[in-house]
């Protein structure tokens, strides 16, 4: 009898669980999906709160290991199943920038693209995540002349940061600058991206 995959992804359509789904698809490891429908409030049910007391998706379990928060999930999975490939090794020069972009996605980019469309733009010096225009400039300068964040090599940092950029461009929360649109085009052309997008952003969400 075929054994169940060790990894379970707790996922909901139309959510940031796209990131973890995409990474798992890129890694090519067996995993199963448990739907936690955030529109029905499943994320606040007692059974799920035992796994993730914050009541958010995604969460993953890998055997007895439980990980929540997208950057932590991506770092864990890429190190365990893609070390030296999607995750630069500890001693590699790229490891520092890799970790920076992993964290930047939710520490800087996500809050700014959530607040800016609501016309909430605080002076950059007053927040830990800085200003919107500064963030756009940082991304533009970093990606200009590069295929991926670390150069020519695709990494889990592109999944973590790229998924946030992709969602922000989709909802017009980032300006459609050619450097950002082109980068997103390279990412969205990947087969693993499409499989995760089909599972997370079905057409009925935009009907």
Please tell me whether residues 99 and 178 are part of one structural domain.
Answer: yes
Q: Write down the pLDDT at residue 207.
A: 47
Average pLDDT for residues 2-27, to the nearest whole number? 92
pLDDT of residue 123: 73
Are 23 and 72 in contact by the 8 Å Cβ rule? The answer is no
Q: Is residue 17 located within the same domain as residue 72?
A: yes
CATH number at residue 119: 1.20.1050.10
> Would the pLDDT of 127 be above 60?
yes
Above pLDDT 70, what percent of the chain?
96
Structural domain of residue 39, as residue ranges? 7-85+194-206
Return mean pLDDT, the chain. Answer: 94
Is residue 117 in some structural domain?
yes
Helix 156-170 to helix 95-104 angle, to the nearest 10 degrees? 30
Distance CA 169, CA 33 (A): 26
The pLDDT of residue 194 is: 96
What CATH number corresponds to the domain at position 26?
3.40.30.10
- Per-residue pLDDT tens digits for 138-160: 999 999 999 999 999 999 999 99
177 and 198 share a domain?
no
3-state SS assignment for residue 15 = coil
What are the CA-CA distances from residue 106 to residues 34, 48, 111, 113, 152 (Å)?
24, 22, 7, 10, 24
Give the span between the Cα atoms of 107 and 71, in whole angstroms: 10
Query: Is the confidence at residue 88, as pLDDT, over 70?
Result: yes
Q: Residue 84 carries which DSSP code?
A: T
Distance of CA 177 to the CA centre of its chain: 20
The predicted model gives 161-187 an average pLDDT of 97
Same domain? For 79 and 102 the reply is: no
CA distance 36 to 31: 16
Does pLDDT of 129 surpass 90?
no
């Amino acid at each position: 009898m075929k054994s169940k995959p060790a990894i379970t992804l707790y996922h909901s359509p139309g959510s940031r669980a796209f990131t973890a789904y995409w990474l798992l698809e890129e890694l090519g490891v067996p995993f199963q999906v448990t739907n936690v429908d955030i529109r029905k409030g499943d994320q606040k049910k007692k059974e799920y709160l035992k796994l993730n007391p914050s009541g958010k998706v995604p969460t993953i379990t890998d055997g007895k290991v439980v990980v929540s928060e997208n950057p932590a999930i991506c770092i864990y999975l890429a190190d365990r199943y893609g070390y030296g490939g999607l995750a630069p090794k500890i001693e590699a020069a790229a490891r520092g920038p890799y970790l920076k972009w992993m964290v930047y996605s939710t520490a800087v980019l996500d809050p700014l693209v959530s607040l800016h469309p609501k016309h909430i733009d605080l002076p950059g010096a007053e927040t830990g995540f800085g200003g919107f225009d500064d963030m756009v400039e940082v991304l533009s300068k970093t990606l200009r002349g590069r295929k991926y964040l670390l150069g020519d090599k695709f990494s889990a940092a592109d999944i973590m940061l790229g998924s946030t950029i992709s969602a922000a461009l989709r909802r017009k929360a980032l300006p459609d600058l050619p450097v950002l649109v082109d980068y997103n085009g390279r990412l969205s052309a990947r087969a693993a991206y499409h499989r995760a997008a089909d599972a997370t952003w079905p057409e009925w969400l935009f009907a």
